[in-house]
């Protein structure tokens, strides 16, 4: 793997991890909200 | 050289935008819209958080099915100009990654729908994913020129799921909403197939225009738009909606028929206008579905506010 490819590899891995983190955070908030709604019902 | 480049591309992890592209975001907008309309038009109330969860799960399920569809059809997509630049045929992603992503999205959508909204809605969602990715994509699409008729069933589930998310049971109204999209899909897709048919022929997909020719396809288009009219008006006829929806459905369906007539009567070998009538019918079919479901929701909201009976 050339230095350019390695840099691209790291860039892609980082952006994927950020998106994955945002998705997981979103689901944590969603489950929290669903739990509250269900408990209140 | 080509394979070396492909190998080099695939050594890199796929970009997150390619994962997003695999979910067919443009198709998903229609799925979200019809699912939301089914949810808003249903009698009863649903907590906004639960309603949001239901629409999210419908979208995730549709995305998962779209990913599995592209995982299975990567070789076919590579042969068609319209689809050759998708992430898999373009070599920007491993097929196994797409398969795993599709399975994950599908499973997540069903489990979250079941736990957060209801298990009947989750069961219908699970069946719709199975229907699109297995019954349609793997089994019937490569085997029969009626593939679009059968595939239409997959796209017809979202408003039914949205409705069931609110009511918790399957009654005549969600079945009618299902039937509307089911009978809308063939004229919508065959109008498209008429002006992109060379691609389907090259990929060996037995689309109606490829197998039976333009003439029978044009006849089928007008027949489906004629059948669609009474089905589109049926929710009003059975008392499920008010006059706003009823008149909208009637006028929109008459417009659909009016545009389908010139498509059904002409033969492409005698005209050279770049398929204007077919393209106009395709564009109208998209407008038709948006307008019909918007009228459904408007009818329901106005009735709930006491503006109309």
**Alpha-carbon distances of B223 from A30, B193, B208, B257, B270, rounded to whole Å:** 45, 17, 14, 9, 22
Name residue, tokens 């077919």.
B278
Q: What is the pLDDT of residues B92-136, one digit of tens each?
A: 999 999 999 999 999 999 999 999 999 999 999 999 999 999 999
Task: Give the closest-approach CA distance of B168 to chain A in angstroms.
Answer: 16
Query: Does B269 share its domain with B130?
Result: no
Query: Does B39 share its domain with B73?
Result: yes
State whether B11 and A1 contact (CB < 8 Å). Answer: yes
* Minimum Cα–Cα distance from A35: chain B residue: B116
**Alpha-carbon distances of B263 from B143, B214, B223, B224, B254, rounded to whole Å:** 26, 10, 12, 13, 15
**Contact B172/B255 with Cβ under 8 angstroms?**
no
State whether B13 and A9 contact (CB < 8 Å). Answer: yes
Nearest to B217 by CA among B263, B158, B254, B175: B263
Digitized pLDDT (tens) for each residue of chain A, 41 residues in all: 788 888 989 999 999 999 999 999 999 999 999 999 999 87
Q: How far is the C-alpha of B38 from the C-alpha of B204, rounded, in Å?
A: 36
Chain B residues touching residue A41 (CB < 8 angstroms): 47
* ipTM value: 0.91
Q: Does B53 touch chain A (CB under 8 A)?
A: yes
Query: Does B109 share its domain with B198?
Result: no
**Alpha-carbon distances of B158 from B33, B128, B182, B286, rounded to whole Å:** 9, 9, 11, 16
Query: A24 φ, ψ to 5°?
Result: -65, -40
Query: Does B9 share its domain with B145?
Result: yes
Q: Does B309 touch chain A (CB under 8 A)?
A: no
CA dihedral angle for residue B33, residue B36, residue B41, residue B44, rounded to 10 degrees: 180
Task: Give the closest-approach CA distance of B12 to chain A in angstroms.
Answer: 6
Query: Does B151 share its domain with B242?
Result: no
- At residue B219, the pLDDT reads 92
Q: What is the pLDDT of residues B32-79, one digit of tens each?
A: 999 999 999 999 899 999 999 999 999 999 999 999 999 999 998 888
Q: Does B111 touch chain A (CB under 8 A)?
A: no
Query: Does B4 share its domain with B145?
Result: yes
Task: Please provide the DSSP assignment of B220-282 as one string.
Answer: HHHHHHHHHHHHHHHHHHTTSS-HHHHHHHHHHHHHHHHHHHHHHH--GGG--STTHHHHHHH
**Contact B39/B162 with Cβ under 8 angstroms?**
yes
Q: How far is the C-alpha of B39 from the C-alpha of B10, rounded, in Å?
A: 41
**Alpha-carbon distances of B273 from A24, B52, B289, rounded to whole Å:** 51, 45, 26
Query: Does B177 share its domain with B308?
Result: yes
Query: Does B23 share its domain with B140?
Result: yes
| Mean pLDDT on B181-210 | 83
CB nearest to A12's CB, from B13, B56, B116: B13
Q: How many domains does chain B have?
A: 2
Query: Does B31 share its domain with B120?
Result: yes
Query: Does B176 share its domain with B307?
Result: yes
Query: Does B303 share its domain with B212?
Result: yes
Query: Does B17 share its domain with B155?
Result: yes
Q: Does A11 touch chain B (CB under 8 A)?
A: no
- At residue B186, the pLDDT reads 93
CA dihedral angle for residue B52, residue B57, residue B58, residue B63, rounded to 10 degrees: 130
Tell me which residue range forms the domain holding B234.
171-309
Q: What is the pLDDT of residues B243-256, one digit of tens each?
A: 999 999 999 999 99
Interchain CB contacts (distance < 8 Å): A and B:
36
Q: Where are the domains of chain A?
A: 1-41
Residues 135-154 on B with a CB inside 8 Å of A are none
């Amino acid at each position: 793997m050339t230095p350019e490819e390695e840099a691209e590899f790291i860039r892609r891995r980082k952006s994927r991890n950020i998106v994955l983190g945002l998705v997981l955070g979103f689901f944590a908030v969603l489950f929290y909200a669903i739990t509250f709604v269900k408990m209140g019902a | 050289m080509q394979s070396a480049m492909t190998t080099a591309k695939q050594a890199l992890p796929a970009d997150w935008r390619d994962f997003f592209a695999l979910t067919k975001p443009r198709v998903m907008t229609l799925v979200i819209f019809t699912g939301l309309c089914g949810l808003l038009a249903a009698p009863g109330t649903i907590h906004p958080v639960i309603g949001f969860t239901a629409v999210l799960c419908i979208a995730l399920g549709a995305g998962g099915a779209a990913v599995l569809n592209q995982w299975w059809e990567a070789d076919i997509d590579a042969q068609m100009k319209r689809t050759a630049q998708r992430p898999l045929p373009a070599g920007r992603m491993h097929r196994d990654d797409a398969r795993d992503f599709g399975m994950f999205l599908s499973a997540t959508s069903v489990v979250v729908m079941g736990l957060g909204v209801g298990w009947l809605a989750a069961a219908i969602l699970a069946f719709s994913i199975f229907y699109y990715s297995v019954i349609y994509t793997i089994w019937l699409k490569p085997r029969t020129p009626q593939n679009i008729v059968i595939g239409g069933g997959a796209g017809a589930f979202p408003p039914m799921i949205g409705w069931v998310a609110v009511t918790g049971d399957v009654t005549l109204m969600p079945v009618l909403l299902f039937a509307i999209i089911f009978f809308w899909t063939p004229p919508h897709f065959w109008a498209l197939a008429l002006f992109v048919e060379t691609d389907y022929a090259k990929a060996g997909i037995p689309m109606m225009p490829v197998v039976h020719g333009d003439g029978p396809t044009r006849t089928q288009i007008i027949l489906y738009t004629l059948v669609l009219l009474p089905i589109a008006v049926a929710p009003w006829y059975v008392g499920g909606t008010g006059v706003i929806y009823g008149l909208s459905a009637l006028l929109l369906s008459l417009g659909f028929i009016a545009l389908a007539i010139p498509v059904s009567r002409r033969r492409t070998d005698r005209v050279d206008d770049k398929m204007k009538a077919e393209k106009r019918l395709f564009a109208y079919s998209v407008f038709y579905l948006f307008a019909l479901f918007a009228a459904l929701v408007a009818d329901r909201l106005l009735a709930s506010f006491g503006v109309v009976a």
